[in-house]
Amino acid sequence: MAQGAGRRAGEVRLVGLTHHHPGAAEAAISDVSLTIPAGESVALLGREGAGKTTLLRLVAGLDRPTHGHVLLDEDEVSELPTGRRPVAAIFGRYSLYPFLDVAANVAFGLRSAPDAGSRGAMATAPGRAGMSRRVREALELVRLGDYARRRPAQLSPVHQQRVAIARALVLRPRALVLDEPLAALDDEDLCVRLAEDLRALRAQLGITMIYGTRSAAEASAVADRVVVLEGGRLLLQAEPATDAGRPAVVDDAEAAAGAGGELGTENADNPLLSPSAPGGAVPAA
């Protein structure tokens, strides 16, 4: 896909981000500040309820922060609705339209793309020829070029996930957020391989990626940097720190979680998930 010289960088910066769900006594996200350089892949690692989904929804524009700011290449986008900010989102439920074929599912977002000149817009709506070309390019990127006329029911869960990725990439976003995108799959080895594929695709496109997961193995496979969330706060983060490029913080998190490889309920008080943890972990910004 042609996402070259004309594409803006895609740095994501979160500043003092706090979000309260309506009626909730506690903040779902509390005073989170994080900078993700353009083109970096960051995994948000945490147990269920840690705040991953809320943070991703704030970046994508599906929710508004109670306090704080979301900036994209230093543009304030906190109040821009999801269709007006250059961020695409993929969730565990792929939400494909069963009555549309693969190509039409991928093209759906382009049909409602903003008009030219809209502030923060991902991509203006192309003409028919341009739409067909971009859909073909997106499907080729995810190796589904031969599946364009199939319906979602004729696809495996892996292929359905690739359709969801193509549908996001066809919009040519500056940043891509993924909330447990492999949750529908129950094969951990397959999930790790698909996470590695996502990392390679992200590197090919030079796109910024924020990936939420409970799986330390997925986080290790997909990320340049791992950030651990607990109770709506950034607990710690680390760069890759081993010969295999495996973030040391993932080793810490796995040790805390036990053999399951997912952060468990006992982690809040575990010394391995503290800013002084061994293995190169550092306090979150």
Q: What CA–CA distance (Å, rounded) separates 96 from 168?
A: 12
pLDDT digits (tens, 9 = 90+) for 6-40: 445 799 999 999 999 988 888 999 999 999 999 99
Q: What CA–CA distance (Å, rounded) separates 240 from 224?
A: 6
Element containing residue 34 per DSSP (H, E)? strand 29-36
> What is the DSSP-derived secondary structure letter of residue 215?
B
176: amino acid identity, one letter? L
In a domain, 272, yes or no: yes
In a domain, 219, yes or no: yes
In a domain, 22, yes or no: yes
Contact 40, 206 (CB under 8 A): no
Question: In percent, how much of the chain has pLDDT > 90?
Answer: 43
Q: What CA–CA distance (Å, rounded) separates 251 from 228?
A: 12
In a domain, 107, yes or no: no
Span 55-68, mean pLDDT? 94
Q: What CA–CA distance (Å, rounded) separates 107 from 111?
A: 7
Q: What CA–CA distance (Å, rounded) separates 9 from 31?
A: 25
Q: What are phi and psi of 152, to 5 degrees?
A: -55, -35
Does the pLDDT at position 69 exceed 70?
yes
Total-model pTM: 0.79
Residues 6+ apart with CB under 8 A from 243: none
| Domain hosting residue 261, numbered range | 12-92+175-283
Query: Both tokens of residue 4?
Result: 């070259």
How many domains in the chain? 1
In a domain, 128, yes or no: no
pLDDT computed for residue 248 by the predictor? 55
Lowest-pLDDT range of 63-67, 217-221, 252-256, 272-276: 272-276
pLDDT computed for residue 84 by the predictor? 84
> What is the DSSP-derived secondary structure letter of residue 14?
E
Query: Both tokens of residue 223?
Result: 């990320």
Give the CA dihedral 227, 229, 232, 234, nearest 10 degrees: -40
Domain CATH for 87: 3.40.50.300
In a domain, 135, yes or no: no
Element containing residue 198 per DSSP (H, E)? helix 188-205
How are beta strands 87-91 and 75-76 bridged, if at all?
unpaired
Q: Higher confidence at residue 130 or residue 276?
A: 130
In a domain, 142, yes or no: no
In a domain, 255, yes or no: yes
Q: How far is CA 96 from CA 13, 109, 114, 141, in A?
A: 30, 12, 21, 18
